[in-house]
Amino acid sequence: MPAANKEEIQIWQTANPATLTPRIDDKSQQQSVLILARQGSGHAVATGQIGHAIASRATHIMFDYTQSACAIRYQIDGQWEQLPPLTREVGDAMLITLKQICQLNPADRRSAQTGKCEAKVNKDKYQLTLQSQGTASGERVLIRLDAEKVPFNVLAELGMRDTMIDQFREALNSESSSVLISSPRGMGLTSTWHVAINAADRLIRDFQSLEPENEKEIEIINISPNFYGGSTGLAPSELIRKMILKEPDVFVFPSIPDDDTLLAAMDQTAKNEKQVIARVSANSAVEACAKICAQYPKSAKHFASTVKAVLNQRIVRRLCEDCKVGFQPPPALLAKLGIPPGRVAQLFQQFVMPPIEQQVDANGKPAPIPPCSACQARGYLGRVGIFELLRPGPQFKAALLKTQDIGQLTKIAQSEGFRGLQSEAILTVARGLTSLDELKRVFAAKKA
């Protein structure tokens, strides 16, 4: 074991360690990699640190290596939090283990490398993706933890309103249509994608997805994956032709490989009453439509004529139910938010721990306030989605083939009844799910 301060328990020693397994089909090969990794002095550190991150609800881990130390940050509910650093010796030993299990080169501290492995704590399984890159001061390592079990099961748990759920489900279960599910990068698109697909009726319709072999999606029940690239030797355009012969009802695109492949699927929606459901990164529902038409011009006509619904979202931190603080909003604030007088009795905000000198009782004696046990004094616990659902009308569809001007298209969509993210965001605050400060933070963030 690398040298560590024996008088002080390290963070990686405080949690149930994760079991890390290489993504290798050959069991004997897999065992060889594991035996080598377990012999290393950093194995306990690596498994303990990943276990602690999972117990902390972290979705990302950042290791920044300098000459003398390894700084650690976790991303929890979309916010980065600093943790105590490791010594360089301990950090190096940990990284050797992680790179070995992810089948990367531990000796290469300069080149960009990406690898994956499986992580498990108790019965919970995760896909661990490790990306490393040399820096001027040492090396930066980003680890992403994707839970096999999606933390949300239904659209309501994501924060979607009942009326919107009904409208979106209607679109998901339609024929001769296309549906887009979108968000900016880093805004929970993967989780929403899985929950949305699960909301579709997959029992009486055949869903077939098209995926690159080296970027397989987490399995969704009753969706048959079809892979291109890698060992398959298939180009996406070849694979889509094979899929069409199976006569599926729904073509699922977690990512769109190219225009010809999309065109082949879109052609089926127009001719044979099929459906296309695709995932795309975009800052708004309107931008998602414009992006499809701009990047895939051959498919634009079919898309414009068949697009039934486009979902877009932002993810905000959810106020902790145990410690959130209610306040009576002044009339001027309600007017600014567009909330009619008398409609909302109170709004809520994050509880902020006062300075220690202000933590006193009625007699002025020190009375320390214990931190909230639910959120650990963060004021927020988990996240909630803010959704906009564009259901394009005839004017919008016609304009989509003439312009990709987002402002112009947005005005047309609004004239046909579209409510944007801002309106939905205010409703989320009015429902007591998040705070105005959190909305300001998220909507002021740099767009992807």
Convert the pLDDT of each residue in 310-336 to its tens digit.
999 999 999 999 999 999 999 999 888
Do residues 18 and 50 both lie within one domain?
yes
| Cβ contacts of 101 within 8 Å, gap of 6 or more | 20, 21, 22, 33, 34, 37, 46, 117
Do residues 160 and 136 both lie within one domain?
no
Do residues 15 and 140 both lie within one domain?
yes
Instruction: Tell whether 374 is covered by a domain.
Output: no
Do residues 24 and 159 both lie within one domain?
no
Instruction: Tell whether 178 is covered by a domain.
Output: yes
CB of 195 within 8 A of CB of 209? no
| Cβ contacts of 309 within 8 Å, gap of 6 or more | 167, 168, 171, 172, 179, 180, 389, 390, 391
Do residues 133 and 220 both lie within one domain?
no
| Residue finishing a domain among 131, 147, 163 | 147
Q: Positive or negative, the Cα torsion across 399, 286, 306, 414?
A: negative
**Interatomic CA distance for residues 126 and 86, integer angstroms:** 24
CB of 302 within 8 A of CB of 259? no
**Interatomic CA distance for residues 433 and 429, integer angstroms:** 6
| Residue finishing a domain among 125, 147, 169 | 147
Do residues 185 and 235 both lie within one domain?
yes
Per-residue model confidence as pLDDT tens digits over 242-268: 999 999 999 999 999 999 999 999 999
Instruction: Tell whether 429 is covered by a domain.
Output: no
Pairing relation of β-strands 60-65 and 69-76? antiparallel
Do residues 201 and 63 both lie within one domain?
no
Which residues sit opposite 250 in a β-bridge? 207, 275
Q: Specify the residue for token string 């897999």.
A: 30
3-state secondary structure of 31: helix
Which residues sit opposite 121 in a β-bridge? 124
Do residues 79 and 189 both lie within one domain?
no
Per-residue model confidence as pLDDT tens digits over 151-177: 677 899 888 999 999 999 999 999 999
Instruction: Tell whether 230 is covered by a domain.
Output: yes
Whether the pTM exceeds 0.75: the reply is yes
Residue 179: domain span: 155-307+391-417
Residue 215, CA distances (Å) to 212, 228, 231, 352 in order: 5, 10, 13, 42
3-state secondary structure of 127: strand
Instruction: Tell whether 426 is covered by a domain.
Output: no
Q: Which of 152-156, 195-199, 302-306, 414-418 has the lowest mean pLDDT?
A: 152-156
**CATH number, residue 25:** 3.30.450.90
Instruction: Tell whether 437 is covered by a domain.
Output: no
Do residues 233 and 210 both lie within one domain?
yes
Per-residue model confidence as pLDDT tens digits over 64-105: 999 999 999 999 998 999 999 999 999 999 999 999 999 999
Do residues 250 and 272 both lie within one domain?
yes
Q: Is the pLDDT of residue 5 over 60?
A: no
Do residues 271 and 408 both lie within one domain?
yes
Instruction: Tell whether 424 is covered by a domain.
Output: no
| Residue finishing a domain among 147, 176, 191 | 147
CA angle 288, 292, 294 (to 5 degrees): 115
Number of domains in the chain: 2
How many residues does the structure list for the chain?
A: 448
322-328 long-range contacts, Cβ below 8 Å, gap at least 24? 322/372, 322/373, 322/374, 322/375, 322/381, 323/351, 323/372, 323/374, 323/375, 323/379, 324/348, 324/349, 324/350, 324/351, 324/379, 324/432, 324/435, 325/349, 325/350, 325/351, 326/432
Q: Please compute the mean of the pLDDT values over residues 354-367 and round it to a whole number.
A: 82
Q: Is the pLDDT of residue 448 over 50?
A: no
Do residues 209 and 138 both lie within one domain?
no
Q: Please compute the mean of the pLDDT values over residues 137-147 and round it to a whole number.
A: 94
Question: What Rg do the C-alpha atoms of the chain give, in angstroms?
Answer: 25
Instruction: Give the CA dihedral 436, 438, 444, 448, nearest 10 degrees.
Output: -140
Q: Which two tokens stand for residue 411?
A: 């005005």
**CATH number, residue 234:** 3.40.50.300
Around Cβ 331, how many Cβ atoms within 10 Å? 10
- Torsions phi, psi of 178, nearest 5? -130, 145
Instruction: Tell whether 203 is covered by a domain.
Output: yes
β strands within 320-433, DSSP E: 325-327, 347-349, 380-390
